[in-house]
Chain A
Amino acid sequence: MLMRAATAGDETAYRDFLKAVTPAIRGLARRNLARYGLSAGDAEDVVQDTLLAIHLKRQTWDSDRPIGPWISAIARNKFIDQMRRRGHRIQVRIEDMAEILAAEEQPAGLDGHDITRMLENLNEKQRNVVRALAVEGASVRQTAERLNMTEGAIRVTLHRAVKALSAIYRESDK
């Protein structure tokens, strides 16, 4: 099982695992949103929020148990969070039907809905580290040299950034 190798620190296995489960999570999110008559445009928010939770809560998976129900439970939980947020938004712009319909017709967008805002909510150091490592695909060493930081500091900053991204989703609940 990939997740088992991944928790043992195998980077490639972990990437493969996350990429393998993402389409299933996305399918589930779209179906759930559609069931409540909501725009599929928000599915990617649920997907990203779910991936963050899978990552930050990976210690709660019991390796003796099947991983499917664990992932579905997390995805369901995150979908419910999203519903609560949508509840607020729908009240705010109940007349913007055209906008919602337009969003539905968009092709399978891979961007989270509130992405610009999400990266803005990281501090500058976190944003630079995330951009270099994740978006530009630089190695930890290259990033460390470019930002004039130690490799250890890069790793700490990245971990804080991941936690901050997850917190942003949670905070917009309120």
Chain B
Amino acid sequence: MRTDDLIEALVQDRAAVAGKPRGALSVALVGGALIAAILFLTVLGYRPDIAAAAETYRFLFKFVFTLTLAATTIWLIFTIVRPEAVPGLRLLALAAAPVLIILAVVAELSVMPSSTWLPRLIGKNWWFCLTVIPSLAIVPLAAFLMALRRAAPADPGLAGALAGLASGAIAATLYASHCTDDSPLFVLTWYSLAIGIVTIVGYFAGRRWLAW
């Protein structure tokens, strides 16, 4: 096909321009989180003693961690929709949540006797945590990926991984209100692992479906 013919074909193709990627991402964010929240409330629900728990630092810190992770990741996703946008130093924002959790773990280790460390790390429901967080992340991840297909990220794998990280963080925020393991040691180990699984899935999904 001659290039001039291709141009003619493109000019004739007056299919409606796809919506702006940022608009689609906003819809995906709100819609995905809402569906995950409804799913969470109907199947699991928050823990019965949530009012008492809400007065403890450890319980509240879980949300500080997951919401920080969600906010920084979602912000990054919105910045990489254009092909010429290179995240560069902005990726450093991703360090915020890990820094917080490490500080919390240091605090936990300094106030709790060492004999309690291992039971607190293993917790009661680690297997449940590893199953529920990735399951709740499925809908938000699918929504983010569909929205990102309209975008043109320079690095599809990175875009997919960020979508996975954000979905994992949203799912973890929901799960945190159900989970009775509040120690930062538990959060560092199992929440990170669960969110990491979703991130890896996102990476491969991104390479597969976000390449353009």
Contacts and interface: CB of A to CB of B under 8 A. Distances in A.
A55 B84 contact: no
B17 A7 contact: yes
Interface stretch (B44-52, B90-98, B113-121, B149-157): B149-157
A49 B1 CA distance: 12
B17 A52 contact: no
Interface in A61-95: 61-62, 65, 69-70, 72-74, 77
A57 B21 CA distance: 10
B15 interface: yes
B209 to A, nearest CB: 11
A18 B14 contact: no
A146 interface: no
Contact of A112 (B1, B15, B19, B150): B1
B14 A60 contact: no
Classify the secondary structure of A's interface with B.
helix
Given A53-B152, A56-B212, A110 B3 contact: yes
Residue among A9, A18, A140 with max Cβ neighbours from chain B (10 Å): A18
B2 A111 contact: yes
B14 to A, nearest CB: 7
B8 A48 contact: no
Given A73-B154, A112-B1, A155-B15, A60 B7 contact: no
B10 interface: yes
Residue among B13, B151, B211 with max Cβ neighbours from chain A (10 Å): B13
Contacts of B21: 59-60
A144 interface: no
Given A118-B1, A119-B1, A134 B154 contact: no
Interface of B: 1-15, 17-21, 81-84, 150-152, 154, 211-212
Closest 8 CB pairs of A and B: A73-B84, A134-B9, A73-B83, A159-B15, A134-B8, A134-B5, A57-B152, A55-B10
Given A51-B7, A134-B8, A156-B15, 18 more contacts: A15-B11, A22-B3, A48-B1, A51-B6, A53-B152, A57-B152, A59-B19, A60-B83, A69-B84, A70-B83, A73-B82, A74-B152, A110-B3, A115-B1, A119-B1, A134-B6, A135-B5, A158-B12
